[in-house]
Amino acid sequence: MREVLLVRYGEVFLKGTNRPYFMNKLVSHVREAVKPIHGRVWLSEGRIYVSDFTDMQACIDRVTRVFGVHSVSPAIEMDKDDFEAICRQAAEMMQGMSGTFKVLARRSDKRYPLDTPAIMREAGGYILTHVPGLEVDVHHPEHEMMIEIRDHAYLSVLRYPGTGGMPMGTNGKACLLLSGGIDSPVAGYMIAKRGVEICCVHYHSFPYTSERAREKVLELARELSEYCGEIRVYVVPFTEIQMAIHEKCPDNHTTLIMRRYMMRIAEKLAEKENAQALITGESIGQVASQTMDALVCTNQVVSMPVFRPLIGMDKSEIIALAESIGTYATSSLPYEDCCTIFTPKHPTTHPRIEQMERSEKALPMEELIERAIEGTVVETVLPGQSGI
Ligand code: ATP
Ligand code: MG
């Protein structure tokens, strides 16, 4: 008898003839996730199993974060021949629980002496008489004891929800514009969850923004890497561009021109990375630079698709997501972002593309972009190094 984890996967089921491809990715990501705690991972009859881990809770935490995992249950794997021992074990696992329950059974070993209704009936009856405080409710039970008869018997009662989504790396690559704020890590998470590999670009305006602000962004990237695996972060020096915009462009256009430079540089770096799209944390109307007119101006300078998964979300909804994925605390640290320095008093909220283009004429665009890219530093962050 030993403890194993039963891993269920969701949408992966749907992928028809591509199924082996999705499954191989998923299994290899589960394997990677449990490597530091020495888990052994195998696939059998529509489930992924993990055994031989050193720490059950750590194993659950790691596996539930793998995109594509629907839910995880700690289970007892035991000899299937002694049915009474199975009933005893099931009752022991339910001791201390109260309310309603039912037993569910599955049997892939069709030669097993009891069929599924008999397993449910016998085990249910045993639990009812041996665990005080539990009643049967077959329609809406609070607890479900699952007994699966395969090569062994597997018993599980707890179920931890996984993140869902699609296995990482099954859907191309995109480049996330990662600031130190609340929104952009959530945006990156949402796209990565659909199986998209991500890399990050961060604009840093040293000495106006501090080393701690840069470190905060790397910590956010580390937190994302707990879900996505290794991530490359391009840290782009942005001071020269900001100073030039500040000196040469009308005050009410500076924020948007800065945003346009961010997009242009991100697209160039994305091409280098073979990424096919950009991701931002923008949401309609959140700030002056995210009105519909402003978004149109920002979008106009790039030809890659720009994914804005938060576009229709309220700040409170974004915060709830940030909390649930574990990035909120780091995002809330007070260090300044390059957007907040040189902020104009009256930024335009209804800009027009022609106005932006006219204002930008004063800048040596190619040169500025080239120098920023030349000065870019690439950092690599890995899972297992963040505080979440
Ligand atoms: P966030 O919480 O993500 O910082 P925000 O509400 O502060 O968003 P803005 O500062 O206008 O909004 O930025 C909009 C988007 O532009 C961000 O979500 C992010 O994708 C990108 N962005 C802003 N600042 C930076 C930066 N310094 N480096 C990289 N991307 C940035
Ligand atoms: Mg921001």
- Provide CATH code, domain 173-381: 3.40.50.620
Q: Which of 175, 183, 186 to mutate to test the pocket of ligand 1 (most atoms within 8 A of CB)?
A: 183
| Alpha carbons 169 and 233: distance in angstroms, whole number | 17
Sheet with 197-204, strands from edge to edge, namely 306-307, 277-279, 173-177, 197-204, 231-237, 377-381
Nearest Cα residue to atom 25 of ligand 1: 179
Please tell me the distance between residue 166's alpha carbon and the centre of ligand 2 in angstroms: 28
What is Dmax (Cα atoms) for the chain?
Answer: 84
Q: Which residues of the chain have pLDDT under 50?
A: none
Which tokens go with 217?
Answer: 């962004």
* Residue boundaries of the structural domains of the chain: 2-161, 173-381
Residues 6 or more apart in contact with residue 18 via CB below 8 angstroms:
none
- Ligand 1 pocket, CB under 6 A: 177-179, 181-184, 201-203, 262, 280-282, 286-287, 289, 337-339
Please tell me the distance between residue 281's alpha carbon and the centre of ligand 2 in angstroms: 8
Which tokens go with 273?
Answer: 């990375």
Amino acid 36: pLDDT: 86
Amino acid 17: pLDDT: 84
Amino acid 338: pLDDT: 63
Amino acid 341: pLDDT: 64
Q: Which of 218, 333, 339 to mutate to test the pocket of ligand 1 (most atoms within 8 A of CB)?
A: 339
Question: Which amino acid makes up residue 302?
Answer: V
Task: Residue 248: name the closest of 155, 356, 164, 360 by CA.
Answer: 360
Q: How many CA atoms lie within 13 A of 325 on its CB side?
A: 32
Please tell me the distance between residue 295's alpha carbon and the centre of ligand 2 in angstroms: 15
Nearest Cα residue to atom 17 of ligand 1: 281
Please tell me the distance between residue 352's alpha carbon and the centre of ligand 1 in angstroms: 21
Amino acid 33: pLDDT: 92
Q: Alpha helices, DSSP H only, in the chain? A: 19-34, 56-64, 83-94, 116-130, 183-192, 211-228, 239-248, 254-272, 292-299, 315-325, 328-331, 353-360, 365-374
CATH number for 2-161: choose from 3.30.2130.30, 2.40.37.10, 3.20.20.80, 3.40.1000.10. Answer: 3.30.2130.30
Q: What is the pTM of this model?
A: 0.92
Q: What is the DSSP string of 305-365?
A: -EE-TTTT--HHHHHHHHHHHT-HHHHTS----TTTTT--SS--SS--HHHHHHHHTTS-H
Please tell me the distance between residue 100's alpha carbon and the centre of ligand 1 in angstroms: 48
Please tell me the distance between residue 339's alpha carbon and the centre of ligand 2 in angstroms: 6
Amino acid 12: pLDDT: 64
Q: Which of 176, 177, 254 to mutate to test the pocket of ligand 1 (most atoms within 8 A of CB)?
A: 177
Which CA distances in Å does 364 have to 133, 157, 334, 359? 76, 65, 33, 12
User: What element of type H or E holds 72?
Assistant: strand 69-78
